[in-house]
Structure 1
Amino acid sequence: MNPRKNKPVIGISIGDINGIGVETTLKALSDNRIQKLITPVIYGHGKVLTFYRKQLELEEFNFMQIRNIDEVHHKKVNAINVSEESPEVIPGVETHEAGKLALAALDFAIKDLKDGKLDGLVTAPLNKNNINSPEKRFVGHTEYLTEAFGIQESLMFLVAEDIRVGLVTGHVPLKKVAENITKENIKKKLDIMLKSLQEDFGIGKPRIAVLGLNPHAGEDGLLGEEEENIIKPLIKEYKEKGQLVFGPYSSDGFFGMMHQKKFDGVLAMYHDQGLIPFKSLAFETGVNFTAGLPIVRTSPDHGTAYNIAGKKIADEGSMRAAILQAYDIIKNRGDWESEED
């Protein structure tokens, strides 16, 4: 996208309207500092926004209903109805209607991204149970967006102020993880991480830690062979090319000693190995970023949280961080030139 003088236009897909996504979105966008940086466009339904605005008593929060992205107003919070049906909001309850609207919002935003009318997308959390159907299988935002943009490989990259964790395998059953830990798969993810740290985060010579698959990183083959046969030789190849790639490290000791602070990125072998320490250390400010896509997509690192939906206690920190992270990555990719006030 060519540089412009207007603020970046960032879409927000509404997610599950009965979870905490709408609440955290409205709370985050109530911060005028964010509205000075970006032009937000919420893909969902005006009735839903009105419901939560009233419930949260956000009298000063206003949004502008527009029919499509071409009507976007750069000094307002914009909202697009992605369905002609008037949705029913039932906080904390899983409904088919909410899943249908969540997928419609995501698809609507994807179309505008493909048309070059959005500069980034923040996805509010949705529920895979009510979004899946025989016609459309939905494993997760990362996989869905990767397929939508025709990309062979992307990276689920969890980022916060002093920790960035990427995954070799994402939404894969644990019993299938080991068979997916191949030299080719690790290399693909490592290359995406290196490029993303340089282009998306502005780090010239990234330092990356690679975790082992087995307990104690295999303990020299005693507890598994993947480290000796696959991971160590690959790390050696990267070092010989002058890349600052180190490991393999035992996950428990690595995070227990807070060694992630010494690196710009950490490559974990599987979902829980990376996400448990990440969410333990950065749950309220963590961001899920899909690296390797031609577009910028971020998301808060929490789910729908039905148990607190509608109780007005959801913390918007992760949603705010996701919006700001999208803004920073857009700037780092060089699509925008600064505008003097």
Structure 2
Amino acid sequence: MTNSTKRLVITSGEPAGIGPDIILKAAKNNHMASWIVLGDQSVFIARAELLKIKIHIELWMPGDPTPAHKAGVLLLYHVPVKNEVIPGKLDSENSEYVLELLKIATDGCVDNTFDAMVTAPVHKGVICESGVPFSGHTEFLEERTGADKVVMMLACTKLKVALVTTHLPLKDVAAAITPELLSEILATLIQSLKQQFGLKNPTILVAGLNPHAGESGHMGMEEIEVIEPTLKTFKTQANIIGPLPADTLFTPPYLEKADAVLAMYHDQGLPVLKCIGFGESVNITLGLPIIRTSVDHGTALDLAGTGQAKERSLICAIKWALQMSQKANYA
């Protein structure tokens, strides 16, 4: 397939946030992909006028042609908001609209209308205020697609970091890292690197939990009792190296040989990645039967409509989604 035959769908997220802004900014340039934006036409017209961006909006429906994206043209699948949108001002009445965008995109990827989805940021709080329990994109997609286990991975050009635990207090991390959880995470990570990144025998660096990876048990027993035995069970499935001291594995001699790093907790791996790829990193959900990438930032309500929001992470998310859709092999 050529680039132009891959259909990407972009959800515009919280309408009062910077989702519409960064999509309009990204649309000013050429991109080697076909992409359809889900959102309200009036929101994009008003935001383009506010930002003084010249854009030609073409309405799109399933079954319509999807040519490669051209600078200044936006293919839009119109989904109406309930209330008028004011940049920077949340309205819980529009939460149903935000969720509808996700439903259309997810279902469209499942039925192959789209080859991958890219998500602009949503505001979890205002969705919950509307009466709908919502903990985030990842959980929504996991439930909607019936996925068994999903893994959060952030990526930039030079580094991919997946997480064993995500948003947990540090005091709860050690207890959460069980052989069962680590096995599930590793299985999903290995399968995704093979199926969605085209890596036949991925090399994965695994960080230890404790300083110096426990130093033979003198600084903690998790490496000896949990991590090492679990890693051994996967030795025939991938080239797994570890557990390694986290303070040295993020150095060139290790990283230049690695396809991905598996960190034990959020702030063990992500600060390094964001230092290396700040503004250009992408959030990728592994373990889904579809491809999903996302920007690595929030709704930034204070920037909505000001022209100050940066579109770089969205552009990177589009590129990653395209590359993954080209390499995907679920056979």
Pairwise same-fold verdict (TM > 0.5): yes
AA at the equivalent of 1:30: K
What is residue 129 of structure 1 aligned with on the other side?
Answer: 125
Question: By how many angstroms is 1:135 displaced?
Answer: 4.8
- The answer to whether the Cα contact below 8 Å between 2:82 and 2:93 also exists between their aligned partners in 1 is no
User: Which residue among 56, 59, 67 is the counterpart of 1:62?
Assistant: 56
Q: 1:242 to 1:88 in 2, by over 3 A?
A: closer
Question: How far apart, in 1, do the equivalents of 2:253 and 2:47 lie?
Answer: 39
Q: Which residue of 2 aligns with 1:17?
A: 15
Determine which of 249, 262, 266 is the counterpart of 2:257: 262
Contact 2:142-2:148 at 8 Å conserved across structures: yes
1:156-235 matches, within 5 Å, as: 156-235=152-231
- 1:83-137 CA distances to partner (integer Å, 9 max, x unpaired)? 353531223x333245443222112222322332111110101111112257532
Deviations, residues 134-173 of structure 1 (Å, cap 9, x unaligned): 7532222112111111111011111111100011122344
- Partner of 2:233: helix, strand, or coil? helix
Partner of 2:28: 30
Residues 1:134 and 1:24: Cα distance change in structure 2 (over 3 Å): closer
Alignment CA distance shift 1:261-1:18 (3 Å): farther
1:334 positional shift: 5.2
The answer to whether 1:316 aligns with 2:311 is: yes
The answer to whether the 8 A contact 2:161-2:269 is kept is yes
Q: Cα 1:4–1:207, aligned 2, differ >3 Å: closer, same or farther? A: closer
Following the alignment from structure 1 to structure 2, what is the Cα–Cα distance between the partners of residues 295 and 269?
25
CA deviation profile, 1:182-221 (whole Å, cap 9, x unmatched)? 1121122112222222222222321111112223322322
Assess if the C-alpha contact under 8 Å between 2:20 and 2:44 holds in 1: yes
What is the CA distance between 1:230 and its match in structure 2? 0.6
Q: Aligned with 1:78: secondary structure?
A: strand
**Match of 1:338?**
none
- Checking the alignment, whether the CA contact within 8 Å between 2:16 and 2:85 is kept in structure 1 is no
Residue aligned with 1:121, SS: strand
Contact 1:8 1:119 in 2 (8 A): yes
| Contact preservation (8 Å) 1:87, 1:97 | no
Aligned to 2:151: 155
Q: 2:85 aligns with which of 60, 78, 88?
A: 88
For residues 143 and 293 of structure 2, the distance between their equivalents in structure 1, rounded to whole angstroms, comes to: 16
State yes or no: 1:77 paired with 2:74. Answer: yes
Count of residues in Structure 1 that have an aligned counterpart in Structure 2: 326
Letter in 1 for 2:283: N
SS in 2 for 1:238: coil
Unaligned 5+ runs, structure 1: 336-341
What displacement does 1:6 show? 5.9
**Aligned partner letter, 1:222:** H
What do the CA deviations read for 1:280-332 (whole angstroms, capped 9, x no partner)? Answer: 22121111111121111100111122333322122211100101111111110
1:302 to 286, 297, 305: 297
Is the CA contact (8 Å cut-off) linking 1:217 and 1:227 kept in structure 2? Answer: yes
Q: Alpha-carbon deviation of 1:4?
A: 8.9
> 1:155–1:192: 8 Å Cα contact kept in structure 2?
yes
* Alpha-carbon distance in 2 for matches of 1:55, 1:83: 19
TM-score, normalised to structure 1, is 0.87
* Alpha-carbon distance between aligned partners in 2 of 1:324 and 1:64, rounded to the nearest angstrom: 22
Distance 1:87 1:217 in 2: 54
1:70 maps to a residue whose letter is G
Cα distance in 1 for residues equivalent to 2:16 and 2:199: 39
2:83/2:94 contact within 8 Å kept = no
Is 1:43 the equivalent of 2:38?
yes
Which 10-residue stretch deviates more, 212-221 or 93-102? 93-102
Could you say if the C-alpha distance between residues 42 and 5 of structure 1 is closer, same or farther in structure 2, counting changes exceeding 3 Å?
Answer: closer
Report the counterpart of residue 291 of structure 1 in structure 2. Answer: 286
Q: Distance in 2 between matches of 1:315 and 1:272?
A: 24
Q: TM-score, normalised by structure 2?
A: 0.89
Counterpart of 1:77 in 2: which secondary structure? strand
Residues in 1 aligned to 2:20 and 2:228: alpha-carbon distance in whole angstroms: 45
| In 1: Cα distance, 2:158 partner to 2:3 partner | 31
